[in-house]
Amino acid sequence: MNLELALAAGIASGTVLLFAAIGELFTERSGIINLGVQGMMFLGALVGFKVGVEVDPWLGLAMAMVAGALLAGLHGIMTIHLQANQIVSGLALTFLGTGLALVAGDGLPTSSPALLPMFSLPLLSQIPFIGGIFFTDHSVLVYFGYLLVPVAAIWIFRTRPGLHLRAVGEQPSAADALGVNVYRQRYAYTMLGGALAGLAGATITMSLVPGWHAGVTVTTQGWIAVALVIFGQWKPLRTAFGAYMVAFIFRLALDLQGPKDFLGIPNIFYEYQPSTFFLGMLPYAMVIFVLIIAAREANRKRIGAPAALGTPYVRGERGH
């Protein structure tokens, strides 16, 4: 294994975290916390693979996004319309989505050929080192991820709809006074976040590890995606960097358990396999560290959390 291949593998697996984290970023920018990312990923993984195998891969991707959006819409009804606790509703969504996927996925094939095309980008793939990492033999979804990040950044910070989004997440009462429909905005971005989480799940079953099994989303990627939004300070570019970094750490922990030589140097973990559990722990340690920092209100303001994040909006009430 050389460094170029290791980084390329991290980019491929990081696309899953990227989709889920950018989706959650949009949701939280509107003021809604959705901890149901894991459930939406599970459901999207199932729907995308099943439709992709039985009907058409591109339709499978679309239906995975629809499934994630519908599940997120349920979270929207509970938290936006019924003013339910957003944390509790999100956790319930995780259990619901996971349970539905596990029951409905019984009997599906555990492995399959890749359902989506993989290719290299002309000219760009010829760039020394960089081309081999970012532009050679990747799924079409990896390249879509490259486009999603700048589009999300431009949308949030350089467009009028993005200004409305930020206003709804910061001062919903002021946005409402200016004619912005707060409820409609929050529903729309909650469902957009669900659609991208569904796409993240489908990326695994249709491209990264084609097939279906109970641990298809590695059971924790949804939670990591939520923490990555905080790590990225609710900014798409920083969130994308975190997604690829965490994916590379996961890949590094896996690679160090194998060859005697890694990246051209002796693998000191080869003779002491239990030590590799320390490397596998690092992404989760980062998640815990980030969540601890974000738990304090003062820290949330300092790192740029939307002021109205997690706060239900009721028209006419003070404090909104």
Task: Quote the pLDDT of residue 105.
Answer: 84
Number of domain units in the chain: 1
Rounded to whole angstroms, the Cα distance separating 199 from 196 reads 5
In a domain? residue 275 = yes
**Over the stretch 21-76, which tens digit does the pLDDT of each residue have?**
999 999 999 999 999 999 999 999 999 999 999 999 999 999 999 999 999 999 99
In a domain? residue 320 = no
In a domain? residue 317 = no
Give kind and range of the element (H or E) at residue 53. Answer: helix 37-54
Task: Quote the pLDDT of residue 283.
Answer: 66
Rounded to whole angstroms, the Cα distance separating 231 from 289 reads 10
pTM (predicted TM-score) = 0.90
End-to-end CA distance of the chain: 54
CB 202 within 8 A of CB 56: no
In a domain? residue 316 = no
Alpha helices in 55-129 (DSSP H): 57-76, 86-104
Q: Of 21, 19, 32, whose CA–CA distance to 306 is shortest? A: 32
CATH code of residue 200:
1.10.3470
Residues of the chain scoring pLDDT < 50: 274
129: containing domain = 3-303
Number of H helices, E strands in the chain: 13, 4
In a domain? residue 118 = yes
In a domain? residue 315 = no
Residues in contact with 79: Cβ distance below 8 Å, sequence separation at least 6, in sequence order: 32, 85, 86, 89, 190, 312
In a domain? residue 199 = yes
Of all residues in the chain, the percent with pLDDT exceeding 70 is 82
In a domain? residue 268 = yes
Give ∠ CA 277-280-283 in degrees, rounded to 5: 145
